Amino acid sequence: MKVAVVTGPGAVELRDEQLGPLAPDDLAIGIAACGLCTMERRLFTGEKAIYPVAPGHEAAGHVVEVGTAVRGLPGVAQIGDLVAVDLWDRCGVCRPCRRGRSAVCTRPQGAQLSDGTIAMGAGLADFLHIPARNAYRIDAPVEHAAMGEPVACAVHSVRLSGLHAGDRTAIVGAGYMGRLHLAVARAHGAAPVGLIDVSAERLAQARSAGAGWTSEPDRALEVGGPQDVVFVTAGTAGAVERAVDLVADGGTVVLYGAFPKDLAARIPADAVHHREISVVGVLNQEPEDWRTAAGLISAGTIASDLDALVTARFRLADVGAAFAHATDNPVFRVIVGNRL
């Protein structure tokens, strides 16, 4: 089979890889589509210099073989089923996993291809072997199924926020994850939901997608008023302080976006105390979130939102062009796959 490997800044190639025998508890997946996220783009540009590496963790495809221990087992995807695949390798035994917080499992992530290449998902490939427990059946277009992982992340973010139906909600950042937070928050009954960004084009797109209001950062409080929940999906300087200023008494600020490791934020401790503000960090997703995400996607609840977020499609053979397009142009999601 073929698998895409990033070998250096601006360099990606397709390598031959031989999959071993299928383990009894595993499924063989014929990958239909895989999204290029921020991590893949950073690997390609050299911002994240880990080489050689086989990336691709937003993958979906059809089951082509079922391990002997799970064949015919109720609830397990079987041959022909379309599934989204969870490539986060939860150990189940570390302290966070035992506490039900497997999103921050302490087991080192990643694997290796047969030649020693680091595999960070390796979903930009023809096939994958995955544990059956990590496959979620989805009845939807394959492009939507390939968004299962980021949708699950947005679901996790909304769940940890404690959002209730009717909560006034703001999202800082109108990029891909900001738009998914918009879709998931609205699906959970948040109203109204505002989007905050520096890009007039992104704000116009957010309004078309159902945002109740939009604003540039400096005018957010004036335009939207105090918010019960504020999601920060763009990890930029000043975003945390702005979110704290924007959140209402008793509200929650969720830090979802990745921040530079050396970026510090100044939050008034007395304001957090007297206003009972919660500040919550969100990194990943958990099985509960995957089940919700698969349900939302299969039900078609956020179908129009997902359609609007597919920027371009490329065949696996053209994966180099896909990476170049994703890094050289303003995009939401570039999708790569041979079965689109």
Is the residue at 182 inside a domain?
yes
Q: What's the average model confidence in pLDDT over 35-48?
A: 95
pLDDT surpassing 80 at residue 339: no
The dihedral over CA atoms of 320, 323, 324, 325, expressed in degrees to the nearest 10, equals 120
Quick one: 315 and 266 in the same domain? no
Quick one: 12 and 140 in the same domain? yes
Is the residue at 298 inside a domain?
no
Quick one: 122 and 162 in the same domain? no
Q: What's the average model confidence in pLDDT over 291-315?
A: 98
The kind and range of the H/E element at 270 are: helix 269-275
How many domains are there within the chain? 2
Q: How far apart are CA 46 and CA 48, in angstroms?
A: 5
User: In the prediction, which pLDDT does 45 show?
Assistant: 96
Quick one: 132 and 172 in the same domain? no
Quick one: 16 and 44 in the same domain? yes
pLDDT (tens digit, 9 = 90+) per residue, 75-124? 999 999 999 999 998 999 999 999 999 999 999 888 999 999 999 999 99
Q: Where are the beta strands (DSSP E) in the chain?
A: 2-8, 11-16, 26-36, 53-54, 58-66, 82-85, 111-112, 118-119, 127-131, 135-137, 169-172, 193-196, 213-215, 227-232, 247-255, 278-281, 310-314, 333-336
Quick one: 64 and 18 in the same domain? yes
The kind and range of the H/E element at 95 are: helix 95-98
* Domain containing residue 238: CATH number: 3.40.50.720
User: In the prediction, which pLDDT does 320 show?
Assistant: 97
Average pLDDT, the chain: 96
Is the residue at 274 inside a domain?
yes
Parent domain of 174: 154-281
Is the residue at 303 inside a domain?
no
- Listed residue (328, 324, 327, 319) closest to 33, CA to CA: 319
Quick one: 124 and 140 in the same domain? yes
* Domain containing residue 313: CATH number: 3.90.180.10
Q: Which of the four pLDDT bands, split at 50, 70 and 90, describes residue 212?
A: very high
Q: How many residues appear in the chain?
A: 340
pLDDT surpassing 80 at residue 189: yes
Q: What's the average model confidence in pLDDT over 299-311?
A: 98
Is the residue at 292 inside a domain?
no
pLDDT surpassing 90 at residue 340: no
Token pair for residue 252? 């929650």
User: In the prediction, which pLDDT does 109 show?
Assistant: 86
Quick one: 101 and 187 in the same domain? no
User: In the prediction, which pLDDT does 110 show?
Assistant: 84
pLDDT > 90 fraction of the chain, expressed in percent and rounded: 96
Q: What's the average model confidence in pLDDT over 51-78?
A: 97
User: In the prediction, which pLDDT does 91 show?
Assistant: 94
- The domain boundary, picked from 261, 281, 301, lies at 281
Quick one: 143 and 10 in the same domain? yes
pLDDT surpassing 90 at residue 199: yes
**Which of the pair, 233 or 338, is modelled with greater confidence?**
233
Q: What's the average model confidence in pLDDT over 227-247?
A: 96
Is the residue at 286 inside a domain?
no
Is the residue at 8 inside a domain?
yes
Q: How far apart are CA 293 and CA 244, in angstroms?
A: 28
Quick one: 228 and 135 in the same domain? no
Quick one: 217 and 181 in the same domain? yes
Is the residue at 295 inside a domain?
no
Quick one: 19 and 134 in the same domain? yes
User: In the prediction, which pLDDT does 38 show?
Assistant: 93
pLDDT (tens digit, 9 = 90+) per residue, 136-160? 999 999 999 999 999 999 999 999 9
Q: Which of the four pLDDT bands, split at 50, 70 and 90, describes residue 181?
A: very high
Q: How far apart are CA 93 and CA 181, in angstroms?
A: 30
pLDDT (tens digit, 9 = 90+) per residue, 251-267? 999 999 999 999 999 99
